[in-house]
A = this chain, B = another copy of it.
Amino acid sequence: MKMSALFAPTLKENPAEAEVISHSLMLRAGMIRQLSSGIYNILPLGLRSLEKIMNIVRRELNHADGQELLLPALQPGELWKETGRWDIYGPELIRFQDRRERDFCLGPTHEEVITDIARKEIRSYRQLPLLLYQIQTKFRDEIRPRFGVMRSREFIMKDLYSFDRDYEGLKVSYQKMYDAYSKIFASCGLEYIAVRADSGVIGGDVSHEFLIIADSGEEKVMRCPKCLVASTQEISDCPECHAGMEEKRGIEVGHIFQLGTKYSESMKAYFVDQDGKEKPLIMGCYGIGIGRTMAAAIEANHDENGIKWPWNIAPYEIIIIPVKLKNQAGMELAESISQQLAHQGYETIWDDREVSAGYKFKEADLIGFPIQVIVGEKALKNGTLEIKIRSNGKRIECTREQLVSVIKKIKDELVIL
């Protein structure tokens, strides 16, 4: 694709409204634009990154026996009255009446809806365990929306719900999700910590938060450098190996809960067990903030010039930059390289614009393509191309013939599958 055709309206200056670096860089790189307080238009570069995160999530959840479905945003008030959350949830829950004056809300989460499906469709222990998930838009009228897509009023979340016969089954499902989450964040190229947490308004007994490690993180966590045990408490030694704990800061991107029977009891979601007895379904719920994960990835991977995307969640992988303005041979070479690499399966952009080389380099760094292929004077003289690796700043020279194998080698080193 040509850079001139890409709809990525970049900004030179740091936008005044951005309090955190990920918010600022997403605005500057043309990934998002605010429509209203806490409500964002996701522009093409932002959506491409989100889509990649969603597809990693899908891959790992399907691998862990999750089945994807899609539940409505519009939820009838009656369901929320059954669980009592219609009263407990404050003004964060967006409520309205339909044209027949029936109460509705916009789902901030879907325990009521999924439990309603379960009580109607699950009859027998033979249907269990069952893991159902969706990737869907949620709504919360935050009192203070901030940090861009990190705390917004409309956001994309993955929420999975597990249904089991008993608490032993719940533990198995919970561990499956714990493991899937670990793979998901690792595959996004992110360093994460899982810590025991409070269950809050969702309810239930055991829960863990997944945090992406970043200096700007809002939460303080202690982690053992040896056995990686983590805790939110300032206890100084590791409870496992008694080594000294290190302080880390993290951004919450996922939360998993052992709900038990909180929703199945209040909504009468029962199944018939092998012994012929009716029992409540034992539930768990498991969330990942998709937009938050993208923001956290930027918080953890950037420098003063812009974003340093981990390969697997970069909007595009490679930009080809012809340096000499109005040099037909250089432009043609850049386009031909772009097409060759696209043919090899890489996601490429070539910068066809009539702007200075300096401007092109600045934007390439800002947007954060993992690899820049620079078509400079040497390329035209003796065929030498320059490759810049965004994450570590390394530069490598190679010939056109070597290009594909050099890029494959760089990718193999950068990618965590």
Contact = CB atoms under 8 A, between A and B. Distances in A.
Contacts of A65: 5
A47 B35 contact: no
A268 interface: no
B75 A6 contact: no
B95 A69 contact: no
B91 A99 contact: yes
B126 A4 contact: yes
Nearest to A78: B36
A43 B41 CA distance: 28
A346 interface: no
A70 B47 contact: yes
Interface string A1-36: 000111101000000000000000000000001011
A38 to B, nearest CB: 9
The bracket for how many chain A residues form the interface is 35 or more
Interface stretch (A112-120, A393-401, A403-411): A112-120
A60 interface: no
A132 B99 contact: no
A154 B139 CA distance: 15
A73 B9 contact: no
Given A67-B7, A141-B98, A113 B74 contact: no
A154 B72 contact: yes
A376 interface: no
Contact of A73 (B67, B104, B137): B137
A143 interface: yes
A39 interface: yes
A74 B138 CA distance: 11
B69 A36 contact: no
A254 to B, nearest CB: 21
A143 B99 CA distance: 8
B35 A113 contact: yes
Contact of A154 (B44, B46, B73, B153): B73
5 contacts: A39-B72, A39-B76, A43-B69, A44-B69, A47-B69
Closest CB pairs A-B (n = 6)? A96-B96, A42-B70, A9-B121, A91-B99, A44-B67, A36-B76
